[in-house]
Structure 1
């Protein structure tokens, strides 16, 4: 018996069964009938069994032919399914990167350069969102990796660096009274909790006067003079705002990189190195020691 089966010969066998005869199968396969008959003869010779027998003017499958036909269908199904998966993998050469709005403007340009240099055959797509949403997306596998804020310092993933937390207000803004109006992100938000704790810790009464799901919404509220906001800084100051050094020190927030399960190790390593490189080029930001990055 043969050690291998020709896939095209198996397709011919299936075509004969589905078309109900040799001549129709030849037309469907776009080959001549003699060529089709040759496929059958080669199969019979290799398998050392008769696949067809004459039934009047027609040819029908023998019992052995029916067995071979069933195997042919299984082989073709597995083969074609494998091709579809490989073709899908070839098409899906996209690295999906997530980032919070706070770090997108500064870190993502570095990430684009690093990924394009390391993986020239891949394209890159970005998802901008809140840390909680991005962490969930990474967990579901819809985002390959993401840079997220971790004010509490207990998050998963790689610790990349720390961003200083800065109080901002509109230029010339003064507090309207004993109550400090706070502009914050909607819950859940670790930065909002940190701001509340810092202000109330000094005995100040705090009221959230405006909230938003986006950074732009928070900044708009601050620019409108509705209150102060506590935001991480990766360098530079939002236009139209001033730093409020008279408010309590709020420390830093950790920036972490979380990666989906199964992400290629070289992609994860390149992304982490790009994030660390961003911090190493900015002395005013706190770089995490190498030993702590895998925390």
Structure 2
């Protein structure tokens, strides 16, 4: 009497997904067309169609809904797209680890306080795995100070807030968000007049946006507390000493978004990666990791 296959033998029998076929699948999914994907991959549409047919047979699932001039993913195709992107990225990292020239040297990286916790741990972790011989020196400060350090050569690249653009710097926006009013969920600071606010020191983009909004709306306010770090401003809100303007994505209990009619609307801000053209290979590699990172906090509850 034959024995049922063990878990180990079942796992060993699973087919392996070919990276070339996965690249074809991802390209078709992102372009929405076999024809456009074929042009990008320098193949014929029929060759791509045969690859997808074999992939669908291997997985036992229909991955695309074919329509007149384009294709769209099925529910199973959407699931595979996430896996496919991650597998291709992991494959590229593995190949780079062994075939790419070893990078060495130092990179000066500037970053503002509000972005540190959101982006830095993931970026540094991935960069250290890919380029362990590169030393990264991190400087936390206001955008205006980081620009000065770029000019002085102390930094190679920086994540800054604001829309400032200069011809001598390369600038890529990685995040945009609107500021909202924030206070303690049980607080009464928002009802006080003059309105008590907590802000960073001069040079902060959020401070500029907040004060401009209050002045334009002729709101009577006072700066009750100031601190250059978000954690310090949160402390003033938790003590119900003041309210402030934060990105919606930074709000977590017991803080809450305030919708008081007396509070003026606030503008948005951008986080951009800036650096000098002709940067070193090491700083260019770090810039790629920064651009791939997600700056949105995972604890957002607002």
The TM-score range, normalised by the shorter chain, is 0.5 to 0.7
Task: State the partner residue of 1:66.
Answer: none
Question: Following TM superposition, by how much is the alpha carbon of 1:199 offset from its aligned partner in structure 2, in angstroms?
Answer: 2.6
Note the residue ranges of structure 2 that are not aligned, 5 or more in a row: 1-101
- With 264-273 and 183-192 compared, the bigger mean Cα shift is at 264-273
Question: Following TM superposition, by how much is the alpha carbon of 1:270 offset from its aligned partner in structure 2, in angstroms?
Answer: 4.5
Task: State the partner residue of 1:155.
Answer: 165
SS in structure 2 at match of 1:222? helix
Matched ranges for 1:176-187 at <5 A:
176-187=191-202
The answer on whether the counterparts of 2:173 and 2:270 sit within 8 Å (CA) in structure 1 is yes
Question: Following TM superposition, by how much is the alpha carbon of 1:238 offset from its aligned partner in structure 2, in angstroms?
Answer: 4.8
Task: State the partner residue of 2:212.
Answer: 197
* Bigger Rg, which one: 1
The answer on whether the counterparts of 1:181 and 1:227 sit within 8 Å (CA) in structure 2 is yes
Alignment of 1:222 onto 2:237: yes
Q: Note the alpha carbon deviations across 1:112-140, whole angstroms, 9 max, x for none.
A: 14422442321323222221222211221
The 1:223/1:188 distance shift into structure 2, 3 A limit, reads: same
Task: State the partner residue of 2:265.
Answer: 249
CA distance in 1, matches of 2:211, 2:250: 24
CA distance in 1, matches of 2:135, 2:253: 32
SS in structure 2 at match of 1:192? helix
The 1:117/1:267 distance shift into structure 2, 3 A limit, reads: farther
Give the TM-score, by structure 1 length.
0.55
Task: State the partner residue of 1:125.
Answer: 137
The answer on whether the counterparts of 2:109 and 2:138 sit within 8 Å (CA) in structure 1 is yes
Question: Following TM superposition, by how much is the alpha carbon of 1:166 offset from its aligned partner in structure 2, in angstroms?
Answer: 2.5
Question: Following TM superposition, by how much is the alpha carbon of 1:269 offset from its aligned partner in structure 2, in angstroms?
Answer: 5.7
SS in structure 1 at match of 2:120? helix
Large movers: runs of 4+ above 4 Å: 279-282
Task: State the partner residue of 1:258.
Answer: 274
CA distance in 2, matches of 1:240, 1:133: 32
The 1:108/1:180 distance shift into structure 2, 3 A limit, reads: same
The answer on whether the counterparts of 1:97 and 1:125 sit within 8 Å (CA) in structure 2 is yes
Alpha-carbon RMSD across the aligned residues, in angstroms, is 3.1
The 1:272/1:238 distance shift into structure 2, 3 A limit, reads: farther
SS in structure 2 at match of 1:274? helix
The 1:121/1:266 distance shift into structure 2, 3 A limit, reads: closer
The 1:214/1:271 distance shift into structure 2, 3 A limit, reads: same
